[in-house]
Structure 1
Amino acid sequence: MTVMAERTSSQLSVDTFERIAEFAEREDETVKFEFIDGRIGLCKVTNGNHGAIIMWLIRQCMRARPELDLNPLQGLKVEAYRKGRARPDGVLAPVDHFVGQGDWADPDGVLMAVEVTSYDSDTHQRDRVQKPQAYAEAGIPVYLLIDRDHLSVLVHSDPDPEDGYQDIHMVKLGGKVTLPDPVGIELDTEDLKSYID
């Protein structure tokens, strides 16, 4: 479940948001906070199948590119002028890339952001609209969306800071998909069909 509260950046500074998120997430590990497009997002930690999908993807990335880590915990500074904060379900970057960067890292050097849709009312706006735009603005080369509602995998690439990702390739679950450079990994998504609930 996700609850979004409307805020403009003039009403809430990024520093204030970071302090609120740090305190709240420390007190209750079942929630995570984001600040995208002037809105605070509060997300309940996802179910077991959601986590199983991320673990499956971590294993695929480790086999194909052992010099990279898919980090399921790292927050990123996103949107123009770093006024947003997102917690992707996974962030692909070189091993030890985030050492010393804290809870909210700069997206420079990130190769891919990953989201897995949740079964809540805000999934469409958050995962299919706001996050692709924010990740493209941040210059993240690849955005991978595993869409459980539509039983598909969408690979967004060729980011444009103003117009979002210029190339979007969709494959139904069960098919093979290639994550373009700089990721360069082919995924056989047949196994993902067993994680759809």
Structure 2
Amino acid sequence: MTVMAERTTSHMLVEEFEEIASAAPETVTLEFLDGRIEEKRVPDGDHDEIIRWLQERCMQHRPDLWLYPAGRGLKVETYRQGRARPDGVLASKGHFAGDGEWSDPDGVLMVVEVTSYDGDTDRRDRQDKPAAYAAAGIPVYLLVDREAGVVAVHTTPDAARGCYLDIHRAPFGEEVTLADPVGITLDTEILKNYVG
């Protein structure tokens, strides 16, 4: 079988994706999940406010850590062949110093996604991303689901199966605890202001 025939029956190679992503204009954010290129929607103002709020909470309760906002690329999925740009990445301050565009997820304590109001949200944020982050062994995946009005805290990643074993969903307004190694409790009442 030739290389060309192999590509028509299989997914794109990660090296091909990285080449495409590096040539994309700054106004386009691309991810590579399950062998497919995904375009990530530009966040709206409420989305940005949620990330700002989370940054403040992390700084208040864990000043040793930093919630890196959207843009930090992570190598995810089985054998790290996926590429994702979470809305937030919680790690030690200075953790990504010296890294290029795509970092290994080792040392990442939590990733955050805030849903957008588009047709791909269900598959991307509720299915593909948790599977990719669990496969990479990231301890906590926090999904702020604006459409459903809930915060979903995914913990106990099973890298071999590509899933989180524990998922706690709480409606906006309830307190949620981000398990160790994060160790922060969030009062989510303010999130009611950013749904619309």
Q: Normalization by structure 1: what TM-score?
A: 0.92
How many residue pairs get aligned? The number is 188
Residue 13 of structure 1, CA deviation:
2.0
Q: 1:70 aligns with which of 58, 61, 67?
A: 67
Closer, same or farther in 2 for the Cα pair 1:134/1:8, shift >3 Å? Answer: farther
Q: Aligned-pair RMSD on alpha carbons?
A: 1.5
* CA distance, structure 1, for counterparts of residue 150 and residue 47 of structure 2: 14
Alignment-mate amino acid for residue 20 of structure 2: I
Alignment-mate amino acid for residue 63 of structure 2: P
**Structure 1 vs Structure 2: percent identity of aligned residues?**
60
Residue 22 of structure 1, CA deviation:
1.6
Residue 9 of structure 1, CA deviation:
9.4
SS, match of residue 164 in structure 2: strand
Partner of 1:93: 91
* CA distance, structure 2, for counterparts of residue 183 and residue 63 of structure 1: 13
Question: Does the 8 A contact of 1:9 with 1:83 survive in 2?
Answer: no
Alignment of 1:110-189 (within 5 A): 110-161=108-159, 162-189=161-188
Deviates more, 1:159-168 or 1:120-129: 159-168
Alignment-mate amino acid for residue 89 of structure 2: V
Question: Does the 8 A contact of 1:155 with 1:170 survive in 2?
Answer: yes
Residue 141 of structure 1, CA deviation:
0.3
Residue 32 of structure 1, CA deviation:
0.5
Question: Does the 8 A contact of 1:8 with 1:38 survive in 2?
Answer: no
Larger radius of gyration: 2
Residue 12 of structure 1, CA deviation:
2.5
For structure 1, the residue ranges without an aligned partner over 5 or more in a row are 1-6
Alignment-mate amino acid for residue 146 of structure 1: V
Closer, same or farther in 2 for the Cα pair 1:16/1:194, shift >3 Å? Answer: same
Residue 11 of structure 1, CA deviation:
4.8
Partner of 1:4: none
Alignment-mate amino acid for residue 174 of structure 1: G
1:22-79 Cα deviation digits (max 9, x unpaired): 220xx2x332100000110012311111111111111111111011011112110000
SS, match of residue 54 in structure 1: helix
Question: Does the 8 A contact of 1:9 with 1:38 survive in 2?
Answer: no
* CA distance, structure 2, for counterparts of residue 9 and residue 96 of structure 1: 41
* CA distance, structure 2, for counterparts of residue 11 and residue 30 of structure 1: 25
1:47 aligns with 2:44: yes
1:136-174 Cα deviation digits (max 9, x unpaired): 000000000000011000000000011510000011001
Alignment-mate amino acid for residue 95 of structure 1: K
* CA distance, structure 2, for counterparts of residue 155 and residue 103 of structure 1: 27
